[in-house]
Amino acid sequence: MNCQEVVERMHRYLDRDLTTDETAQMYQHIAVCPECAETFNILKSLNRELEDLPAVTPPVSLVDAIMPKLDAIDRDRESLVAPPAVKSQEPAEMMPDIRRPRRAGSWWSTVGGRTAIGAAAAVLILGVAIFNYEPKMLSDAEIPYEEASTTSAGANEDSAETEIQDMVQPFAADGGAETGSTANEGSDPSAGLWGSPPESSESDPSPGPNDESKEKTDPSDGAKDTREDAAASNTPVQKNNDGEPQVPDQPARSSNEVPKKNDASQSNPPVDEPGQNSESMSIQTSPNDYEAMDVQTEKLPPISDPAGDAGAGSAESSDRSTGSYQGLAMVPEQWPSPDGLYRASLEAEYLVIYRLPSGDQTSAEAVETVERIPLGGSWVSGQWSEDGLTFKYKVQTNKELVESVYSIEKAQPPASAGQKQPKP
Amino acid sequence: MVEQGLIRAAQSGDRDALITLLREIEQHVYRTAYYILNNEQDAMDAAQEALIRVYTKINSYEEKAQFKTWVQRIVTNICIDKFRRTKPTVSIDEHDMVFRDHLDVEREVMSGYLAQDIQEAINQLPDHHRTVIVLRYLQDLSYNEIADCLNLPLNTVKSYLFRARQQLQNMLQEHQKGGVSG
C-alpha cells in the first residue's frame, strides 16, 4: 500500500466509509510513515473544523418571510383553478366535439349504423324464422295468414314471404277502399281511420247552414269535450268495432279521427231532413253490405235528441251522458243479433231494439225502431240468444240484479213485434 | 428529519402540514445556501426561493427518494444557478495553477486572506467542490445521498470531496505555515 492509497483511505475514513480491516491497514501504514501521519493529522484537523462549522440560522424566520408569497401563490392557484373551472367548461364544450367525431368514426354508433344493425338483426331473425317455418302450414291460405300476422313468423321461403305481402296488401287495400268497413269489422281500426278524415272534411262544412242542428249538438258536445276525449281515447277500437251509437255522438268534437267521422255522420241526419247531401254520405259511408254505418247514421238523431231534449240544461245532459258514457266505455253498447236482422242498442237509459234492413238494402228508412225499453237501473250486460229471437240483459237496480229477456217474433210486422217479458 | 406522515398530509393538500414542514426544513435549507453562497442576503434569497419551490412542488416529491435529499437538491440547484449568474466561473485547474504560481509572490496576501477562517477557504473552492463539502459537513449526507442530490456518479462525488478537502487542507496548511512562520 503506497502513500497515495493511504491518503484516499484517510478521506474515506473521515467519511466513515472504511471497514475495520481497511482502517487497521491504514493505521498500520500511518504508524510506519511519518509523512502520512502528518497528512492524516492535518486531514483530521480539517475534518474537525468542517464538522464544527457553526450551524448558521436565518436572522428571521424564512417561512414567515415568505408567507405573503405563499398566500399570493394560493390566490394565484385559486384564480388558476377558477379560470380552469371556466376553461373546464370550454373543454367540456369541446369534449363533445371531440367525441362526436369519434362517434361518427365508429359507424355502428351512428343513427344509420344502428338502423343497419337493427335491419341486420331483423333480417337474421326473419331468416331464422323462415328457415324454421313449416311449409306445409301454407296449404290453407287463411291459416298461415293468421299465424303470420299474429306470430310474425313469416314463411319458409322467399315465395312465402311475398305471399304474405300479397295477403297483406289486399287487406290494406280493403281497409282503404271500404272506408271504415274494416273499422266496423274490428279487423283493423287503423285501416278504417285512414279513410275517414277526407269524409269529415267534406261533410263538416255541409251542416253549416243547419244552424238549428248545430245549436242542438254543439253546446252539449262542447261541454263534454274534455271528459269525453279521455274516454274516447281509451277505447277507440272498441267503439269502432261495435258501431255503437252513443260513442260517435259524445266524442264528436274530439280530435280523434274516428269520432270526427262519426261527427260527420251525426251532423248528416239533420242535413238529411232537408234532403241535402244524404245520398252522397250514404254512398260514402255505407257501401255495399255495410249495415253498421247506416244504423249508426240512422240512430244518431234519437241519441242527439235526448241531449237536445234536455233543453237549456246542457250541463245536466252532459253529466248524464258522461256518466253513462263512462260506464259504457268498458261494455259493448250495441249487440247485433246473430242472424243480422235486429240490433239491440243501449242508448242513455233505454234499451232500444232496431230492426235492420234485410238483404242489401241500404236506405236509411229500412232501419226501424222496434222497441224502446227503459232500463230502470244501471246497465250490466246483454246478449242475444243463438237463434236471434231473444235478447237477455241484466240491469243493476238499486239493490238487486234484474235479468230481463226481450223476445222478437219474426212473423209479425216489426212495428208490433216486440213483446217485453221482464223477469225478476 | 421529517416524518412521512407530515409529508403525506402536506401532499394531500393540508396547508398547515405543509407550513409545518417548511418550518422544519427552513434551517437546513438556509445553512446549505449560506455556506455555498457565503453571503447572508444571497442565502436568504436562495433559501426562500427553495422553500417556495418546495411549497409549490410538494406533490412532485416521491417517497422513493429521501425527503432531505430532495430538499437539498432543490436548494443546491438554486444556489449553483445563483452562483453562476453572479460570479465568473474559473476552472479548477486554472484556479490551482494561479494559486500555485502566485503562491510565493502572494504568500502574505494569501495568508492574510486564508487566515480569516475555514469559511473563507470553503468559499474559494470551485462550485461543485464547495457544494459537496457543504452537503457532507453541513447536512451530514453520505456519498450516495450527495450523489442523489447533485445527480452525480458516486465516484465523482468521492473525487470532488477528496479534492475539495485537499484544497482546503492546502489552503489551511499555507495559512498555518504562514502563521507559524509569521
pLDDT digits (tens, 9 = 90+) for B26-57: 999 999 999 998 888 999 999 999 999 999 99
Work out the angle at residue A415's Cα, subtended by the Cα atoms of residues A411 and A417, and round it to the nearest 5 degrees: 40
**DSSP calls for B38-57:** T-HHHHHHHHHHHHHHHHHH
What does the alpha-carbon distance between residue A32 and residue A22 come to, in Å, rounded to a whole number? Answer: 16
Contacts of A47 in chain B (CB under 8 A): 165
- Per-residue pLDDT at B44: 93
Q: Is residue A91 part of a domain?
A: no
Contacts of B167 in chain A (CB under 8 A): none
Overall average pLDDT of the A117-128 stretch: 90
Comparison of pLDDT for A409 and A263, the residue scoring more? A409
Comparison of pLDDT for A108 and A348, the residue scoring more? A348
Q: Is residue A69 part of a domain?
A: no
Cβ–Cβ under 8 Å, residues A144 and A137: yes
Cβ–Cβ under 8 Å, residues A175 and A290: no
Among the ranges A181-190, A304-313, A332-341, B90-99, which has the highest mean pLDDT value? A332-341
What does the alpha-carbon distance between residue A396 and residue A107 come to, in Å, rounded to a whole number? Answer: 64
Comparison of pLDDT for A164 and A38, the residue scoring more? A38
Q: Do A364 and A300 fall within a single domain?
A: yes
Residue A216 has pLDDT above 70, yes or no: no
Of A159, A177, A195, which one is at a domain's C-terminal end? Answer: A177
Residue A130 has pLDDT above 80, yes or no: yes
- Per-residue pLDDT at B39: 84
Contacts of B31 in chain A (CB under 8 A): 55-57
- Taking each helix axis as running N to C, give the angle between helix A278-285 and helix A189-203, from 0 to 180 degrees, rounded to the nearest 10: 170
The reply to whether B16 touches chain A by the CB within 8 Å rule is no
Q: Do A331 and A359 fall within a single domain?
A: yes
Contacts of B34 in chain A (CB under 8 A): 56
Given the C-alpha cell 453571503, which residue does it identify?
A: B39
Among the ranges A27-31, A79-83, B112-116, which has the highest mean pLDDT value? A27-31
- Per-residue pLDDT at A404: 81
Report the Cα A214 to chain-centroid distance in Å: 35
- Per-residue pLDDT at A324: 45
Contacts of A14 in chain B (CB under 8 A): 165
Q: Do A192 and A159 fall within a single domain?
A: no
| Closest chain B residue by Cα to residue A69 | B52
Find the domain containing A369 and state its range. Answer: 181-422
Q: Is residue A96 part of a domain?
A: no
What does the alpha-carbon distance between residue A11 and residue A322 come to, in Å, rounded to a whole number? Answer: 113
Cα of B181 to nearest chain A Cα, Å: 17
- pTM value is 0.42
Query: What is the pLDDT confidence band of residue A257, given thresholds at 50, 70 and 90?
Result: very low
Overall average pLDDT of the A258-263 stretch: 46
Contacts of B163 in chain A (CB under 8 A): none
Question: Residues of A near B (CB-CB distance < 8 A)?
Answer: 8, 11-12, 14-15, 17, 39, 42-43, 45-47, 49-51, 53, 55-59, 61-63, 65-66, 69-70, 73-74
Q: Is residue A402 part of a domain?
A: yes
Residue B9 has pLDDT above 60, yes or no: yes
Residue A132 has pLDDT above 50, yes or no: yes
Q: Is residue A207 part of a domain?
A: yes
Q: Do A236 and A377 fall within a single domain?
A: yes
Query: What is the pLDDT confidence band of residue B142, given thresholds at 50, 70 and 90?
Result: very high
Cell numbers given for B95: 484556479
Q: Is residue A30 exposed (0-12), middle (13-18) or buried (19+ Cβ within 10 Å)? A: buried
Interchain pair A17, B143: CB under 8 A:
yes
What does the alpha-carbon distance between residue A223 and residue A82 come to, in Å, rounded to a whole number? Answer: 60
Q: Which of A302, A281, A241, A417 is nearest to A362 (CA)?
A: A281
Residue B88 has pLDDT above 80, yes or no: no
* Range with lowest mean pLDDT among A19-33, A99-113, B49-63: A99-113
Comparison of pLDDT for A120 and A184, the residue scoring more? A120
Complex ipTM: 0.78
Query: What is the pLDDT confidence band of residue A269, given thresholds at 50, 70 and 90?
Result: very low
- Per-residue pLDDT at B114: 39
Q: Do A170 and A194 fall within a single domain?
A: no
Instruction: List the single residue in A39, A58, A69 with the smallest CB-CB distance to B44.
Output: A58
What does the alpha-carbon distance between residue A174 and residue A168 come to, in Å, rounded to a whole number? Answer: 10
Q: Do A152 and A266 fall within a single domain?
A: no
B14: helix, strand or coil: coil
A419: helix, strand or coil: strand
- Per-residue pLDDT at A317: 45
Query: What is the pLDDT confidence band of residue A135, given thresholds at 50, 70 and 90?
Result: low
Please give the share of chain A, as a percent, with pLDDT higher than 90. 8
Q: Do A328 and A231 fall within a single domain?
A: yes
Cα separations in angstroms, A82 against A78, A79, A96: 6, 5, 22
Residue B3 has a CB neighbour count (10 Å cut-off) of 13
The reply to whether B119 touches chain A by the CB within 8 Å rule is yes
Overall average pLDDT of the A63-81 stretch: 86
Contacts of B161 in chain A (CB under 8 A): 11, 15
Residue A32 has pLDDT above 80, yes or no: yes
- Per-residue pLDDT at B73: 94
- Per-residue pLDDT at B82: 81
- Per-residue pLDDT at A30: 92
Q: Which of A301, A262, A251, A303 is nearest to A285 (CA)?
A: A262
Q: Do A250 and A386 fall within a single domain?
A: yes
Query: What is the pLDDT confidence band of residue A341, given thresholds at 50, 70 and 90?
Result: confident
Q: Do A256 and A369 fall within a single domain?
A: yes
Q: Do A155 and A214 fall within a single domain?
A: no
DSSP state of A411: S
Cβ–Cβ under 8 Å, residues A342 and A408: yes
Comparison of pLDDT for A388 and B19, the residue scoring more? B19
Q: Which helix (H) or strand (E) holds A156?
A: none
Cα of A52 to nearest chain B Cα, Å: 9
The one-letter code for the residue type at A262 is N
Q: Is residue A74 part of a domain?
A: no
Order of all β-strands in the sheet with A350-355: A334-336, A342-347, A350-355, A368-374
| Closest chain A residue by Cα to residue B40 | A58
- Per-residue pLDDT at B140: 92
Query: What is the pLDDT confidence band of residue A109, given thresholds at 50, 70 and 90?
Result: low
Domains and CATH numbers, chain B: 4-86 (1.10.1740.10), 92-181 (1.10.10.10)
**DSSP calls for B116-171:** S-HHHHHHHS-HHHHHHHIIIIIS---HHHHHHHHT--HHHHHHHHHHHHHHHHHH
A155: left (phi over 0), alpha (psi -120 to 50) or beta: beta
**DSSP calls for A224-271:** HHHHHHHHHHHSHHHHHHHT-SHHHHGGGGSS-HHHHHHHHHHHHHHH
A192: left (phi over 0), alpha (psi -120 to 50) or beta: alpha
Interchain pair A47, B34: CB under 8 A:
no
Q: Do A159 and A299 fall within a single domain?
A: no
Instruction: List the single residue in B47, B55, B137 with the smallest CB-CB distance to A51.
Output: B137
Overall average pLDDT of the A1-24 stretch: 90
The reply to whether B60 touches chain A by the CB within 8 Å rule is no
- Taking the CA atoms of residue A52, residue A53, residue A58 and residue A59 in that order, the dihedral angle to the nearest 10 degrees is 90
- The predicted-structure confidence for A362-393, as pLDDT tens digits, reads as follows 555 567 777 788 877 777 788 888 777 788 88
Of A131, A158, A177, which one is at a domain's C-terminal end? Answer: A177
For chain A, what is the mean pLDDT? 63
Q: Is residue A109 part of a domain?
A: no
Q: Is residue A81 part of a domain?
A: no
What does the alpha-carbon distance between residue B149 and residue A134 come to, in Å, rounded to a whole number? Answer: 85
- Per-residue pLDDT at A199: 46
Of A177, A212, A239, which one is at a domain's C-terminal end? Answer: A177
A43: helix, strand or coil: helix
- Per-residue pLDDT at A94: 52
Q: Do A191 and A210 fall within a single domain?
A: yes
Count of domains for chain A: 3
The one-letter code for the residue type at B167 is Q
